[in-house]
Amino acid sequence: MTESKVPAAAGSAAGTERAEHSTDSGQPGRPALPARQRWLVLAVVSGSLFLCGIDLTVLHVAVPSLSRDLEPSPAQLLWIVDVYSLTLAALLVTCGTLGDRIGRRRMVLSGFFTFGLASAAAAFSASTVQLIAARAALGVGAAMIMASTVAIIRVVFADDRERAIAIGIWTSAHSVGATIGPLVGGLVTEKWGWGAVFLINVPVIVVILAVGARVIPESRNPVPRRWDVTSVALSVTGLAGVVYALKQAGEHAGVNTAIVLTALTGSALLYAFVRRQQRIREPLLDFTLFRERSFTTATLCVIGCFGSYVALLFFLTQWLQQVGAYSPVRAGLALMPLAGANALGAVTAPWAANRWGNRWALTGALSLFAVAYAAIAAVGDTAHYGELLIPLLAAGYGAGIVMTLGADSIMAAAQPERSGEAAAIQETSFELGAGLGVAVLGTVLTAVYRTGLPDVPGISGEQQARAGESFAAAEDVMAHLPSRTADAVLHSARHAYDRGFTAVSVIAAIGLAATALMAAALLRPRPAAKQADED
């Protein structure tokens, strides 16, 4: 969720409005909070969203040094990176429902505490498993925070004008955090090590928690939806099973019985989740919204675009550091044009929609993103960053337009009385796209790296197999070899990783081009007669 999330927040607020006719702990008509307290509440929730945004991307430039210390397998490395966004995606809706029941203040303060505790645990993780668990806990804390803050803003800011300003600041906080995450990660990693990228959260969270406990008022929905534990379990375990199977397939460069069974089990659980949502009276996600063609198409555009964008952020930082020998800070700085262009695309998206309409603006922006990805694959030379600059600017600009207009199209496709459900799906699609983008494309890169690593004369079969596990494993092998042989291993590993990055870029470009064709074909306005019949 980068600069494109303004429509999401606005939609969430709109959806919350129906349920807020009698909130604030069930005390309708309670006097408005003093102005100072209102803006302090906004500062608290915006500060927490800023941290959530940073944690989405801050680890990208720290991965090489982290890999050298913890030596994760390729699948474990992918889990470290995207278990945060996958957990966040899986729990956003259920945390929102639970917050309506138990109170948003209680939920968001618990989220602050969980986020701070998980940050400390991640900073001092001594093993890969500990870090993965801590990153998952960070996702839980972020879901608790993000699911409650927009409803809190809706309660605190009763004036429409003030509320619009507050929501704009709230969404910008997350956008700024996600944008500067790689640079912050590079600066901190280079000076204090990878653990410090998590540790910097702790003092900020302590301040946010202390102030938030004093200024945030309690509120809840007087008629909350039922919290369906079975649906939560089905969605979380099903998604985890499918993603685990994908990552294992990439690590082993193929499939075996265990991987197939895991994938089938995860798929069956997700199918059961969808079927259950269609049967129960108060579903976590209302899948009847997907009967609307434009809603489904816009959701797929958001998932595909944001997944490709986050994957580009992640793999580009690895490619620059591991193949181009960039320092963490230099890699973070190299991403700033991409992030800046993304912000510009988000800002100018309404102008593009007014000029060409959502359908053709989305199609054109997706096509631009696809061409930019293809150009990055064609250039493929870390030694000539200047040649990468134009494709990076084009990729960021196209992605910014798509994510903004895609979010707007999701909200526009839903009836006003269902804007809350639409906003929940839209929020989830961003986080799900981020997790799946890294998972799927990371699996491709791992497989291409493993199969494309040339044999190096002078090393044993065991060392060759070890070097084929990951770039970090190859560096570990090099440490025990003579300098000439170590240089040969480094050259082979860089060549294999470069091939993997190129393969990922080509596949992403093809996927984005297909998404552009889908948008052009399916986002057509419906005939007026048919629209009138349905109305």
Indicate if the pLDDT at residue 136 is higher than 90.
yes
Tell me, rounded to whole angstroms, the distance of Cα 420 from its chain centroid. 21
Tell me the three state secondary structure of residue 326: coil
Tell me the three state secondary structure of residue 224: coil
Q: How distant, in Å, are the alpha carbons of 164, 241, 383, 416 from that of 13?
A: 10, 33, 47, 12
What's the token pair of residue 407?
A: 């979010």
* Residue 373: predicted pLDDT: 94
Indicate if the pLDDT at residue 377 is higher than 60.
yes
For residue 238, which of 90, 76, 435, 444 has the smallest C-alpha distance? 90
* Residue 83: predicted pLDDT: 87
How large is the average pLDDT for residues 327-332? 86
* Residue 254: predicted pLDDT: 63
Contact 413, 422 (CB under 8 A): yes
* Residue 406: predicted pLDDT: 86
* Residue 16: predicted pLDDT: 40
Cα(445)–Cα(250) distance, rounded to whole angstroms? 8
How large is the average pLDDT for residues 45-59? 84
Cα(482)–Cα(112) distance, rounded to whole angstroms? 50
How large is the average pLDDT for residues 514-527? 85
Residue 407: band (very low, low, confident or very high) from pLDDT cuts 50, 70, 90: confident
Indicate if the pLDDT at residue 116 is higher than 90.
yes
The more confidently predicted of residues 221 and 216 is 216
Q: How distant, in Å, are the alpha carbons of 153, 285, 295, 414, 434 from that of 422?
A: 19, 9, 9, 6, 19
Q: How distant, in Å, are the alpha carbons of 100, 333, 502 from that of 106?
A: 10, 39, 47
Contact 280, 231 (CB under 8 A): yes
Phi/psi at 82 (nearest 5 deg)? Answer: -110, 5
Indicate if the pLDDT at residue 523 is higher than 90.
no
What's the token pair of residue 36?
A: 């100072």
Cα(234)–Cα(274) distance, rounded to whole angstroms? 9
* DSSP designation for 414: S
How large is the average pLDDT for residues 257-276? 91
Indicate if the pLDDT at residue 1 is higher than 50.
no
Question: Which distant-in-sequence residues (6+ apart) come within 8 Å of 350 by Cβ?
Answer: 404
Residue 137: band (very low, low, confident or very high) from pLDDT cuts 50, 70, 90: very high
Tell me the three state secondary structure of residue 479: coil
Q: In the CATH hierarchy, which top-level class contains the domain 1-223?
A: mainly alpha
* Residue 368: predicted pLDDT: 96
- Domain locations in the chain as residue ranges: 1-223, 229-281, 289-530
Domain 289-530 has CATH 1.20.1250.20: yes
Residue 421: band (very low, low, confident or very high) from pLDDT cuts 50, 70, 90: low
* DSSP designation for 481: S
